[in-house]
Amino acid sequence: MESEIARVQTAIQKTAEQLAELYEKAQKEGGESSAAIVEVQQMMLEDEDYLDAVYHIIRTETVNGEYAVSVTGDNFARMFEDMEDEYMRGRAADVRDISGRLARNLAGQEDADFACMEPSIIVAEDLSPSQTVQMDKEKILAFVTVHGSTNSHTAILARMMNIPALIWVPMNLDEIRTGMKAVVDGAAGEVIFEPTDDQCREAEEKIKAAQDKFRLLQELKGKENVTSDGRKINIYANIGSAGDVGYVLENDAGGIGLFRSEFLYLGREDFPTEEEQFQAYRQVVQTMGEKKVIIRTLDIGADKQADYFNLGKEENPAMGYRAIRICLKEPETFKTQLRALLRAAVYGNLSVMYPMIISAEEVMRIHDIAEEVEQELKKAGVPYRVPEQGIMIETPAAVMVSDELAELVDFFSIGTNDLTQYTLAIDRQNQRLEDFYNPHHKAILRMIKMVVDNAHKCGKWVGICGELGADLALTEEFVDMGVDELSVAPPMVLKVREKVRAM
């Protein structure tokens, strides 16, 4: 059986080489957030528990490597699928993906050649992360899958690149063939296989209208976000890595309203160093020139997990040990990030904001730690600048004391995703509660108005960086409330600008 284990180890080496090539491709084409997809799998390939399980099955059951890898992959995937945390459940796809690749290498099978694919609609049971990374993004017309998650890497890629994507579509894949004609309507949420002539004509009309609309939107580049009666609002973009800045510039956003710095911490085995963070932050602010870049400090926890934080299992992680709570309990980790941020602020228009605030006492403690960092940098003779500092308003507690908080910070950014789930007491990732989840609830809108009013009384500005910021049905109401900035996914920037200019 040792010869079989040697076969597995050879296949592991080949798999590692393939993943290294995929990592470089993903980093080049999609930036750090895409490369992190591959990095997660590289970590799994080195996981001692996973490998020990494979070797144990070979030795005790006297089976070949292909069988041992398949069984281990299924066992580990089911383990992840049984977890309560949405992020961890999503890792089941990564386990199956890496196990499948390892088994193919053991059997001497070559990967599918995605480089030569024609422009296509991708239809599948589900899409593995590495399959998604390998595809030529310019040739993907749409994704349609039987299974999947809105938090999957495929869905994230689709949102970033504005590709129509439908998940949880009931289909009999045995009846679907390569070469079939299909229509995917991302707006209506439907797919039609072998459409009739009338359905094709209707789809072509919609495509032409969408293309005409896109061309008109391009004409809005360089225009101001001003209503016909002179009210102005800033429209910024949300990003997850330095590699996403290209989408911001391509869509003519006025700045970056949310840089999710936690992506620097995900998909790795240890904390990013101060220097790693500094280089990433500096790259973004330098690329954006004079435009504002708002970087949110570490928001690990809930659905964003990194094993080396040793957070442990929680019954309700969305309301648990996460975000600023980790930073205040583990100040050295927090100070490392703050040092990198203050150093990067020298190179551009950088602002910092802190997530999951519930009290004025927390903000004062943050200021104390930031002051300690400032003194450390000054003493060491390291160039730095104290940036504009704000907080996320995403808890009902922060809303109710926003008059006090406004006196302690430079700005507010309302995180409507968490604010909605905490206010309505609904887990926004629980599909069974979809009928009850109402982000337009009067309570949410009244809270936003209260926050805006309290901020303006203190002369502070307010933005919205959650999903509601891109909700065109609410744009006019937000402007009427006096919201100063909306930060949205890059492909939504020009659509929101159009809405504002038409008001």
Question: Any residues with CB less than 8 A from the CB of 158 and at least 6 apart, and which?
Answer: 143, 164, 165
Q: What are the tokens at 160?
A: 């970033």
CA distances from 266 to 21, 36, 230, 271 (A): 20, 7, 43, 9
Can you spell out the DSSP letters for 182-239? Answer: EEEETTTTEEEES--HHHHHHHHHHHHHHHHHHHHHHTTTT---B-TTS-B-EEEEEE
Sheet holding 120-124, edge to edge: 120-124, 140-145, 165-166
Q: What is the DSSP string of 420-453?
A: HHHHHT--TT-GGGTTT--TT-HHHHHHHHHHHH
CA-based max dimension of the chain: 79
Dihedral-angle region of residue 188 (phi above 0 means left; psi in -120 to 50 means alpha; beta otherwise):
alpha
The answer to whether the beta carbons of residues 327 and 357 sit under 8 Å apart is no
Contacts of 227 (CB under 8 A, 6+ apart): 479, 500, 501, 503
Residue 148: left (phi > 0), alpha (psi -120 to 50), or beta? left
Evaluate the CA torsion angle 83, 87, 90, 92 in order and state its sign: negative
* In contact, 443 and 423? CB cutoff 8 Å: yes
The Cα 419–Cα 47 span in angstroms is 37
Q: Of 205, 161, 162, nearest to 183 (Cα)? A: 205
Buried b (16+ CB within 10 A) or exposed e, 374-384: beebeeeeeeb
User: What CA–CA distance (Å, rounded) separates 243 from 252?
Assistant: 16
CA distances from 250 to 142, 254, 399, 406 (A): 21, 11, 34, 34
The residues annotated with a catalytic role in the active site are 153, 465
d(CA 190, CA 76) in angstroms, rounded, equals 33
Helices (H), 109-152: 129-134
With contact defined as beta carbons under 8 Å apart, do 254 and 274 qualify? no
- Rounded CA separation 233/217 (Å): 18
Contact in structure between 487 and 237 (CB atoms under 8 Å): yes
